[in-house]
Structure 1
Amino acid sequence: MAKVPSKETIKRRTIEDMKTLGVHKPQYNRLIEIYSELVYQYLTLNNEFEKGGYQYEVETDQGGTKKSPIVATLESLRKDILAYSDRLCLNPKSIETVTTEKGNKSKLASVLSELK
């Protein structure tokens, strides 16, 4: 079982990744905070799932089986993480749809951007 990084570590790494991709702005920090919390919860629950022997079904009172609550929670967190990673441009599909800002603009690009 891998050690779960802290929420702050996840947040810091997310910001570093976004800066590397050229999509970070300080205004996104609230979204990054929520995203970091979701990733932390997911990793923590995934560790619990692993410790529990990956029990994906539980018995019902009627004698049947149903999906384990931890599995349902992990699935929900995955969907939420995917939605936030899209908004923060942290996956290949979402990064295709944005124009990133790079500090090294050509002279022509700099002149053209000033003409607006």
Structure 2
Amino acid sequence: MTVKTKKQFRSAVIREMKSLGIYKKEYNNLVDIYSGMLHQYLLFEQQFEESNYLITEEYTNKAGATNQRKVPLLTAMESLRKDIVSYSDRLCLNPKSLFIETPSKEKQAGSILDQYLASPK
């Protein structure tokens, strides 16, 4: 499996946002982070496949007891999945975030991103 580079993901994300009419250069920092997460996730997925989808491993703790634990790679992938979904919501790149319901039902989600970026952190 060939994994796209972070730069290729970034270009694809910007292309998708432009096609949806929601891209602004001010979003580039979020786009960079999101693109990096997508790239990292696919690298992790490749490693997971190469491990023959190993889910648990033996682990010996400080007390000397040996137990089964989830492999750290799988834990990292699960966390990254949640972050990817969160960023795709912020960047309006999934069906859930494309349109939001308002009393007029006509407000586009692009303004959600503007509101998020403008809100005090």
TM, length-normalised to structure 1: 0.82
Q: Is the Cα–Cα contact under 8 Å of residues 58 and 66 in structure 1 kept in the other structure? A: yes
Q: Is the Cα–Cα contact under 8 Å of residues 38 and 84 in structure 2 kept in the other structure? A: yes
- Which residue identity does 1:44 align to in structure 2? L
1:51-70 superposed matches below 5 A: 51-61=50-60, 62-70=65-73
Q: Is the Cα–Cα contact under 8 Å of residues 7 and 40 in structure 1 kept in the other structure? A: yes
- Which residue identity does 2:30 align to in structure 1? L
Larger Rg: 1
Q: With CA pairs under 8 Å and 6+ residues apart, which has the higher RCO, 1 or 2?
A: 1
2:76 aligns with 73
The runs of 5 or more residues in structure 2 that have no matched partner are 101-106, 111-121
- Ranges of 4+ aligned residues in structure 1 off by more than 2 Å: none
- Which residue identity does 1:18 align to in structure 2? M
Q: 1:57 to 1:100 in 2, by over 3 A?
A: closer
The runs of 5 or more residues in structure 1 that have no matched partner are 102-116
Q: Alpha carbon RMSD of aligned pairs, Å?
A: 1.3
Identity %: 41
CA distance in 2, matches of 1:16, 1:76: 26
How far residue 96 of structure 1 moved from its aligned partner, in angstroms, is: 1.4
Q: Is the Cα–Cα contact under 8 Å of residues 97 and 109 in structure 2 kept in the other structure? A: no
Deviates more, 1:55-64 or 1:27-36: 55-64
2:108 aligns with 99
